[in-house]
């Protein structure tokens, strides 16, 4: 089965960029069990597809994602603990392990409503661009729960202490510009420019050595919870591993182009990646 055959997630490809689109627009892309199972398959396929260089996560219609499906993910499973476990495995697998550690660079394109459980796939993406008009909210407090799953843990990582607590305890909403001010997303642009802004960022990423990108993001994510000495040693070993495994021999090539060829300034852009 190809990714395009799923119902609740669709994939569009453009120039090496795969748009993974949550596709229940009539339900504001709320995540039901079917979406979790299908998203798990789709992110696996895109992660392993050699033609995909960048993965973008977005939503169909007017929502990015309205969070977990209150009817199908919560209430319908309240008395079905086995299915509850199964779907939570799928949810954790695609949102946290697969998306967060995706071997390709990932960008969240937050086109509209983004609530509750949607913060986890948002934060699992490496980078994020929002529409100015998008509406974000940690709405859980409005209906008697706290932001569960990974959400509270995730927001504590990317949002400032006061901002995170303010939105957790008030349940108030904020727009894309505010999300960018707070660092929850990298930038916000008018909705009409969202696709082109995301594609421009993806094109920049495509110019870089893919293995270097992968190791750089893995190293950032893994080392942030280490102490300084562990991080220092791990990063040194990771760099050695990169040099050993890099089919492009990027480090040597970059230094050659800077020192001898004088064709490249690392402070000003990527080294020439033409194949040898
Ligand atoms: N779970 C289940 N269904 C949802 C949903 C969710 N999280 N979010 C939206 N829907 C459904 C609605 O029930 C409605 O279904 P219906 O047409 O069968 O009645 C449909 O999607 C459209 O929603 P509606 O509320 O009419 O759209 P809206 O554009 O007026 O409002 C939201 C959009 C996102 C503001 C509103 O739907 C909402 O508050 N959703 C819940 C968001 C939330 O708190 N999520 C956190 C869950 S962890």
Run of H or E residues at 199: helix 194-206
- Band (pLDDT 50/70/90 cuts) for residue 1 is very low
DSSP letter, residue 268: T
Confidence (pLDDT) at 276: 45
Confidence (pLDDT) at 3: 47
For residue range 183-212, list pLDDT tens digits in order.
Answer: 999 999 999 999 999 999 999 999 999 999
The preferred substitution site among 30, 91, 122, 151 for testing ligand 1, maximizing ligand atoms within 8 Å of CB, is 30
Confidence (pLDDT) at 275: 55
- Mean pLDDT across the chain: 96
- Band (pLDDT 50/70/90 cuts) for residue 5 is confident
Average pLDDT over residues 241-256: 96
Average pLDDT over residues 229-257: 97
The preferred substitution site among 32, 63, 66, 134 for testing ligand 1, maximizing ligand atoms within 8 Å of CB, is 66
- Band (pLDDT 50/70/90 cuts) for residue 274 is confident
For residue range 130-145, list pLDDT tens digits in order.
Answer: 999 999 999 999 999 9
- Band (pLDDT 50/70/90 cuts) for residue 160 is very high
Average pLDDT over residues 263-270: 94
* Residue 224 pLDDT greater than 60, yes or no: yes
User: What are the contacts of 39-42 at 24+ separation with CB within 8 A?
Assistant: 39/8, 39/9, 39/90, 39/94, 39/95, 40/90, 40/93, 40/94, 40/98, 41/1, 41/3, 41/6, 42/3, 42/6, 42/9, 42/11
Average pLDDT over residues 24-46: 98
Average pLDDT over residues 45-51: 98
CB of 28 within 6 A of ligand 1: the answer is yes
pTM score, whole prediction: 0.96
CB of 147 within 6 A of ligand 1: the answer is no
């Amino acid at each position: 089965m190809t990714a395009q055959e799923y119902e609740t997630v669709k994939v569009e490809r453009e120039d090496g960029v795969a748009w993974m689109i949550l596709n229940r627009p009539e339900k504001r892309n709320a995540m039901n069990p079917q979406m979790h199972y299908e998203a798990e398959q789709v992110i696996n396929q895109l992660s392993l597809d050699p033609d995909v260089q960048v993965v973008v996560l977005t939503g169909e219609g007017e929502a990015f994602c309205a969070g977990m499906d209150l009817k199908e993910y919560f209430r319908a499973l309240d008395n079905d603990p086995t299915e509850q476990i199964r779907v939570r495995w799928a949810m954790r697998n695609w949102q946290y392990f697969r998306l967060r550690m995706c071997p390709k660079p990932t960008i969240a394109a937050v086109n509209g409503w983004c609530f509750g459980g949607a913060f986890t796939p948002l934060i699992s993406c490496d980078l994020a661009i929002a529409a100015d008009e998008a509406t974000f909210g940690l709405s859980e407090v409005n209906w008697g729960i706290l932001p569960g799953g990974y959400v509270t843990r995730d927001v504590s990582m990317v949002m400032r202490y006061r901002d995170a607590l303010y939105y957790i305890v008030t349940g108030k909403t904020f727009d894309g510009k505010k999300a960018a001010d707070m660092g929850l997303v990298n930038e916000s642009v008018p909705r009409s420019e969202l696709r082109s802004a995301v594609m421009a960022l993806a094109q920049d990423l495509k110019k870089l050595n893919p293995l270097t990108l992968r190791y750089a993001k893995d190293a950032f994510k893994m080392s942030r919870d280490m102490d300084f000495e562990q991080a220092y040693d791990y990063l040194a070993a990771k760099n050695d591993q990169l040099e050993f495994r890099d089919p492009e021999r990027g480090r040597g090539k970059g230094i050659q182009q800077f020192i001898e060829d004088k064709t490249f300034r690392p402070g000003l852009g990527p080294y020439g990646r033409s194949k040898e």
